[in-house]
Each structure stands twice: as C-alpha cells, then as structure tokens.
Amino acid sequence: MARYRLSAIGAAAVFELAALTAVLAPLWSSAAAPGQGPGGREATATVPAPTARDLAIRGNAAIARGDYAAAQESFEGVVACGGGEYRPRALAGLAALRRLEDRPWLGVPLLREADACFDGWDMSNGLVLWSRRTVLAESARTYVALGVPDVAYDYLPELRACSQAPCDWFNATVLTLDVLSAQHDWVRARERAVAALADVRIDDPSVWAVQRAARAAIRFRLAIADRNLAATDAALRAAAVALLELSDSGLPELLQQRAIATAADCRLEAGDLADATAAHERVELPAELGSKYAAEVLAQRARIAMARGASGADLSELHDRLAAGVEDWLAEWRSMPVRPGGVGTLHFATHRAAIATLLELDRYVLGGGAEDDERAVAAVFDHLEAALASGTLARGLGVGVTLADEQALAPADGGLLMFLSGIGSGSLLLVERDHVSHHVVRLDHGHEAAARALREAVDKPPPADARSAKGLAIVERLADRVAAGLLPDAVRRRLAGWRTIVLVGPELDRRDLQALHTGDGWLALGHALVHASSVSVLRGLRDRAARRPTPPGARLDVAVVGDPLLDPAAAKRWFVEPLAMTAAQRASLTAGLSPSQWHAWWGTAATAGALALPAVRSARALCVFTHGVQDYARERSAGLLLADGNGARALFADAIERLQVPAVVLLGVCGAAAGPVRMGDDGANHLGGAFLSAGADSVLLASGDLSVGATRDLLGHTLAEWQRGANLAEALRRARVRIAAEPARAHPYFFAGLRLVGLDSRHD
C-alpha cells in the first residue's frame, strides 16, 4: 500500500474531513454497547457480515484517528458490496485518501463515479444529502490540491445551498475560505472570514461539537488573508502576532504548525531575524507530512540561515536536503497523467518559494556566491527546468534538455532569460551561447500589487485621460517600479547587448517582464521578445518542426480567416458587435504582402471549416481576426467566433486541438490567452496551447482586450516584415515601434498586449 502523506496544502481540508466524520460517526453507530446486541442483550457467537453502513462508519472513524490503511479497507468494502446511499461517500473517502498520499489526480475518476451515483436519487433524503455534501466537499479539496482552485470554486454554490444546518454551514464556510485563499483572492477571503465571525451560527453547540476552536479556525484564515494583504513591515508584524496567538488557541496541530510557519515568514520578510528564527524553531517536521511540506519548511529554514549568515557547512546540509525533497515532490507530479486544462504544479507561492530558495542555495553552496560559476549555474538550470518542464505541453512533446541544449537554443543576437519568483525574492538565469549567469532579485511588499496593476494597464482599454502625456507617464512610472524589482543593474547591462530575448518561466512572470519600462524605453520596443513555458517546450517544438515535411507544390504564405458574419443571436449571446470591416480595412491587413501569396476568407467564408481547408493547412502562416469569447462553463474558457451558415458559432480549445494548422498562427482575438491561472502548466489552459498542440510552432496572442484598429495594423505590419525576411519576433518588434510612434497609440495597451509564444519562426 502507498505511504500516506499529508501535504501542507491539504492540512486544513484534512482537518475538516476528520472533524466532520468525528461528529457524524456516532449518529450512524448502534445504540448497543461493545459486545452487546441491540437493546443491550448479550451478543450471539454468530457475527453477521458488516453492512455498507457498518463499513462506512469504520472508514469514517479510521480517517478521524488517522488510520488511513484501515479507512482504505473499509471504503473498498462499501464499494464492493454496492453500498447504496453509502457508495458515493465511500468513493469520496477513497478520493480523499489519494489526496492524502499526494496523488490527488487519482481521486478525480473516483469523484466522477461518486457524482454519477446521485442521478435519480431523492435529494430530500437526509442520508443522500449528507453523501452529496461529502462528495462536493471532497471534489473541491481535490481540485485545490491539483492547483486548479477555479474548478474547486464551481462546487461551492451547491455545497453552501445544501449546508444550512450550523455544523454544515461551518464546514462549508471553512472550505470556501480555503478555496478563496488558493485562488489568491485575499480580499474576498477576508470579507467572508469577518462575516463568518459575526454569524451567530458559529457559536451553535453543534459547531462546537465538531470543532471547539471554531472561531480560531476562522481567525486563522483571516490572519492568512491579512498576511497576504500586508503592504508594510508593521502589517506583517501584526499578522505574525495574530498567527502566533492562534497557534496557542486550540487549533488542530496541523493548523498550529501552519500558523507558526507563516508567522516566521512574516517576521523574516519584515527583517526581524531573531523573531523569525524563534518562530521557525517551533515548527516541527514530521517525516509523515510529505515531500512538499518538508520542502517548504526546509526552504524557510534555509532563507533564515542565509539571512543570518550561516556557515557553509550548515547551508550545504540544507541544500542537499532541500534538493532531495523538491525532487521527490516533482517526481510525484511527473507521474500524473496529462489532464486537459492542466494543473498548477507551481500554483502555490510556498511551492515556488521552495524552488526559488533551492536556486539561491545552488549559487551560494555550489558557486560560492559567484553569479557565473559553471557548477552552480548548471544546478540552477537543472532544478528550475525540472519544475517548469512538469507541464502538459512539455510532457506531450516528450524531450529532456541540458544546459548545453539551452545554450544551443539561445538566439545569436541575444539569449534566454529564465525567471521564477518566490516569497520576497526571485531568480533570473541569463543564458547566452557562450555565457550563463544567475541573479537573485529581492521583491518588496508592493511588487505583486504593482505587477498586477501593470498587467491590467496592458490588458484593458485605457480611459481617455490615461492616453495623454501625463497619463502615459503614470503608466511608465508603474512599469519602471516593477522593473526596479525584476531587473537589477547587472541584468540590465547584460540585456542591453541583446536584441532578442526568449522569456522562459511561468506565464504571469513572463507577462510582467514583457510590459516593463526601464527608463530607456519599453522593453517590447527595444527587444524582440519570445515566450516559452520551459526550455523543454522550445526543444520539443524545434525538433518537431525539423521533422515536418514540406507540402508539395505551391502554397500560400498567409491564409487570413476573419471578420465573420455574426447573426443577432450570436452577438447577443456573446455580448459583441459585428466587426463589419470595410473593404479598405480588410485590405490594410494584407497590404504589405505579395498579392499572389495570400488569400482571405472573410464574412460568411470565415468558418471553422475554412481552418481545415488544404490551402489553409499548407500555408506558411494563418492569421485569424475575429472576436474572442469566454464561456465560463468550460474550464478552458477562451474561444473564437467564426461564421456558421447564416449565423456564427464559437470554436474552443478542444476543437482546435483536432485541427492541423500552419507553423505560424497569429490571433487577432481578444482574450485568446485568457483562462484560469495554471502556474507550472502554462499554455494548457488557453488557445495558445491548443494551437501549439495542433501543430503550430509559433502563436501570437493576447490575454486581454485588443484595440481593433491598432491590432489590425500591428498584424499587417508584422506579416509584411516577416514575409520580407525578418524573424517573427523581430517583425513584431518593428510593428510595435510603428504603432507606438503614433501619439494616439503610445500607451502599451495598443502595442504590448500581443505576445509571441513558441519558436521565433523565420519565413522559409
């Protein structure tokens, strides 16, 4: 049997599961005392086979006392005998055990089977309703553990609707707070925690029977939210005080440990080394808690040790232990089957912090602090790429890489910039063909808020006053402020000699880097920028491109599919207006191309079927210019509107992946890269990953809104420059420069929203 382990992510959820079963198990048990039959009569020697009810009670009790092997046996027994109303509860219990052994993906099919049990059942039946609550709650916990809390959130409305009794309300409230925290929605988490503390149900006796520290459980979530909203040292210290007080307030042991560890991080970030050390020394590291929790605790210990100037021997020991823990954790994740929509291997900041801390230890332990020590930078690359290459796209392409491979992939006129942020710091790895250097950056309290505001400035149409010289200066200062944290002077000096920069790392980090303004100008105007989720993806795309046969005969340079006919029903359904481009506007998109080397499918011809035509499939590039849509009933919500007879229909990622598309795809589509965050599995959640999976080497797309006019001109200039021989990234840079030179389009919303993902393709 697998070794059961409790990850820090699931600590609160496990507590809730155990608490719920602790109060419900007696309700299921017989009134007879041990050794007696019903009514207290002496039991006969014949012991009947346990019923599904008996086995479910045993499984609940086993989870409550932490005997997971016994719980497994009991829940499997329920399933084997059919189980009736207890069957979905047993399946949810088995899914919980998969989560507890740090393999939550194995619980997903069990939960689907449990969900199907309720078809046709009477939901007014108390036992059925209880089983339903259990399945909904475990589904949410499993998807949180997978790093996809957006999916987990979808289970909460029904859970809250069937959780009216005070005890059920309490459990649903705590789970809601945990999901909001996993979504990094700290404002709403704080608001809900404050409301829960003011709700009279929290003092109901049935709640106290489940959790005598009910108020402390809510206050703990409130303190975590306050810690993540803290913008000053004083706020961090206040959060640390609250967390340490909670650690002595009757919380379950696992939450006590989380409170103490978070308080230590607050103190460290505030610069209080003695207090951080004192708090950390109270954190326990039981071996059974699992590799992720061990890595988190060891990483915190290492951060404190480096801040205190610990000896080389101490740091070396921490380095080796942390490296082993991170590898153990990543090896578990790599055993997971590929999941449509991806998972969040690096979704949680503590996971990224563990890896970022390991990279910093690589530098100081293996390289003596030198930024370009060969042994140290090789270790930094191996550890960083191991994390980034755990994603769906990298695993689908099935290649491994070394640092030498990465150097061979570096553009001749630039290099690769790999980045990963942690807690208050991050690592930059600059890779050129003949030189590699590693830089550690410190990120202050306000960095994340500034980066978020910068992303919004690029993704949303600016108000009229923001387009003025004064408004533009405000955005530039914001971008300068983010750049001050991400690009230290040594990095800026190195980048100054690069024309092409390949940005490698989590998508949010790469978007921040693309939008930077360094005082010398916008990074996207001075450099040709390419994005990739990992070096393995770059290598895999390059190898696949090399194997692609050249289509026989003449073929188009560019196939354009756009400005589809939209019927009133589709326009109303998706809240869009027809683009209704004039003949002159359509012509402007292809004005710079050789007349005989492009063809456009406009209006009623701009259909999904057009994308499958041989002339489109064999073209060197495909340009799609239409409305983007978001269907939030789908996990991969981004789609694009195309004509369909006398109306229109949306095409989503699953349909796109079944196509065979050209090597270069340009999407003049709002929100094509929008979707739930998948840190560590970037691209699997949006149309960029779908087109790469369908055969594209390079995809140009945006996460936010796009200006119709500016985007049309930007794509037209890019295609013309590319056809004349420029690499795609350089063609895009030249087009950006032309757009930004117009005073009315100088705001980065007009030129920096589109990004190039994949290879820097050249016109062949």
Among 454-463, 515-524, 659-668, top mean pLDDT goes to 659-668
Determine the length of the chain: 764
Report the 10 Å Cβ neighbour count for 122: 10
- pLDDT of the residue at 18: 32
Measured CA distances, 233 to 338, 350, 444, 616, 659 (Å): 42, 20, 10, 57, 53
In this structure, are residues 756 and 531 in contact, taking their beta carbons and an 8 Å threshold? yes
In this predicted structure, what is the pLDDT of residue 28? 27
Confidence of residue 13 (pLDDT cuts 50, 70, 90): very low
Banded model confidence at residue 682, pLDDT cuts 50, 70, 90? confident
pLDDT digits (tens, 9 = 90+) for 479-494: 999 999 999 999 999 9
- For residues 62-85, average pLDDT: 91
Q: Is the pLDDT of residue 16 over 60?
A: no
Residue 536 has pLDDT above 50, yes or no: yes
Residue 19 pLDDT greater than 50, yes or no: no
pLDDT over threshold 90, residue 646: no
| Sign of torsion over alpha carbons 435, 440, 446, 448 | positive
Q: What is the per-residue pLDDT for 285?
A: 67
The DSSP output letter for 522 is B
pLDDT at 498: 96
Over range 370-389, report the average pLDDT. 95
Residues 440-457 pLDDT 10s = 999 888 888 899 899 988
pLDDT band with cut points at 50, 70 and 90 for residue 14: very low
pLDDT at res. 655: 96
Q: Helix H segments across 101-163?
A: 107-116, 126-145, 149-153, 156-161
Q: At CA 446, angle to CA 449 and CA 417, rounded to 5?
A: 80
Tokens of 550: 């050249």
User: pLDDT: is 15 or 366 the higher one?
Assistant: 366
Residues 6+ apart with CB under 8 A from 196: 173, 177, 202, 218
Q: How far apart are CA 324 and CA 355, in angstroms?
A: 11
**Tokens at residue 657, please?**
């992946």
What is the band of 211 on the pLDDT scale with cuts at 50, 70, 90? Answer: low
Mean pLDDT of 609-616: 96
pLDDT of residue 696: 97
- Give the mean pLDDT of the chain: 88
pLDDT (average), residues 116-134: 93
CA distance 353 to 355: 5
2 pLDDT higher than 60: no
Q: Which of 630, 544, 569, 555 is nearest to 598 (CA)?
A: 555
**Phi, then psi, of 82 in degrees rounded to 5:** 95, -60
Q: For 746-761, how does the pLDDT look when each residue is reduced to its tens digit (9 = 90+)?
A: 999 999 999 999 999 9
Q: How far apart are CA 142 and CA 157, in angstroms?
A: 17
Whole-number pLDDT of residue 289: 61
Give pLDDT, residue 504: 95
Could you tell me which of 142, 173, 175, 151 has the C-alpha nearest to residue 12?
Answer: 175
Residue 670: pLDDT over 80: yes
Whether 665 has a pLDDT exceeding 80, the answer reads yes
Mean pLDDT, residues 78-104 taken together: 92
Q: How far is CA 47 from CA 43, 51, 86, 337, in A?
A: 8, 12, 21, 43
Give me the DSSP letters along 583-610.
HHHHHHHHTTS-GGGEEEEEETT-BHHH
Position 17 confidence tier, pLDDT thresholds 50, 70, 90: very low
Beta bridge partners of 418: 429, 504
pLDDT confidence bin for 42, thresholds 50/70/90: very low
Q: Tens digit of pLDDT for each residue in 541-598? A: 999 999 998 888 888 999 999 999 999 999 999 999 999 999 999 999 999 898 888 9
Whether the pLDDT of residue 349 is over 70: the answer is yes
- Chain centroid, CA 126 distance in Å: 37
What is the distance of C-alpha 471 from the center of its chain?
A: 32
